[in-house]
Structure 1
């Protein structure tokens, strides 16, 4: 059964005059990314393949989250994740070949919409209506491979937020 990790970038800053794609993480986001990364390492939730949006805040989330991981495969930077709809994210996932667990590091609203689309109705309520920054959804999907991933059949194995791990607001 393929496993998918959906990680929304951690809390970002909004510096004046900085383009959306270049926004860095806020201090709270740095703490959140570190907490989620440590949680993933402690719980053996490490991807076989990671696809990361090229936006600065997703790159920083990945960099900080993976600092405590044992050696891992470098991520692939996937331009199609930036500002992607759930449909586009699903296309990207279906194009992958056998890597499981597969991780996407991206943005809302696409990540939230994708989680809602993949999960069974009973599991959707655990991630909706809010998919906060830095949140990690671990979704198990039936099927043999990513090419045949179906919607509405995924099981939410867990949903973790930086706040649940003790990261306080500034």
Structure 2
């Protein structure tokens, strides 16, 4: 059994003259990431690995989740393939994961994450909002075999406001 948790980065701020890669979170982004991560804590999900896009907004969201979930920084990997908006690079990344890993969390971007949540999962998700989280389980033993799974969880910030 393989389980993937896709988490879209929290709301970013456009108030800074920085590159897309360096854009920080907005105040709402910090609030929403804390809301969703604290709600997710009650599910007692213990990942074998966490991966993030190198974008500042994704890494900051990842840090908030890791802190609130008490996850060791040793589990974190940063990969440029996750700085993907279409989804093909993320899909290849997931299918190339080490088969020793059973539960993985990935932090990244839209449209890629909404697209993957719909193609991998069995729920119809119109849009994975910022700070949104989708958990999908696959009844396979190898990541390469991941195709259609079961959407087990869909959390969004507005559920907790």
Q: Alpha carbon RMSD of aligned pairs, Å?
A: 1.4
Give the TM-score normalised by the residue count of structure 2: 0.92
Return structure 1 stretches of 4+ with deviation > 6 angstroms: none
Pair 1:52-2:52 in alignment: yes
Distance (Å, rounded) in 1 between the aligned partners of 2:47 and 2:57: 19
> What CA distance in whole angstroms lies between the structure 2 residues aligned with 1:30 and 1:74?
22
Aligned residues: 159
Show the 5 A alignment for 1:116-135. Answer: 116-120=118-122, 123=123, 125=124, 127=125, 129-135=126-132
Tell me the equivalent position of 1:19. 19
For residues 100 and 28 of structure 1, the distance between their equivalents in structure 2, rounded to whole angstroms, comes to 32
When residues 45 and 165 of structure 1 are mapped into structure 2, their CA distance, relative to the original with a 3 A threshold, is farther
- Counterparts of 1:65 and 1:23 in 2: how far apart (Å)? 18
Map of 2:144 onto structure 1: 147
My pick for the range that moved more, 39-48 or 4-13, is: 39-48
Whether the aligned pair in 1 keeps the contact of 2:84 and 2:90 (CA below 8 Å) is: no
Residue 37 of structure 1 contacts residue 67 of structure 1 at CA under 8 Å; is this kept in 2?
no
Please give the alpha-carbon distance, in whole angstroms, between the structure 2 residues aligned to 1:71 and 1:55: 20
Structure 2 match to 1:87: 88
Aligned-partner SS, 2:154: strand
Q: Secondary structure at the match of 2:131?
A: coil
Please, which runs of 5 or more residues in structure 2 have no aligned partner? none
More divergent stretch after superposition (55-64 vs 77-86): 77-86
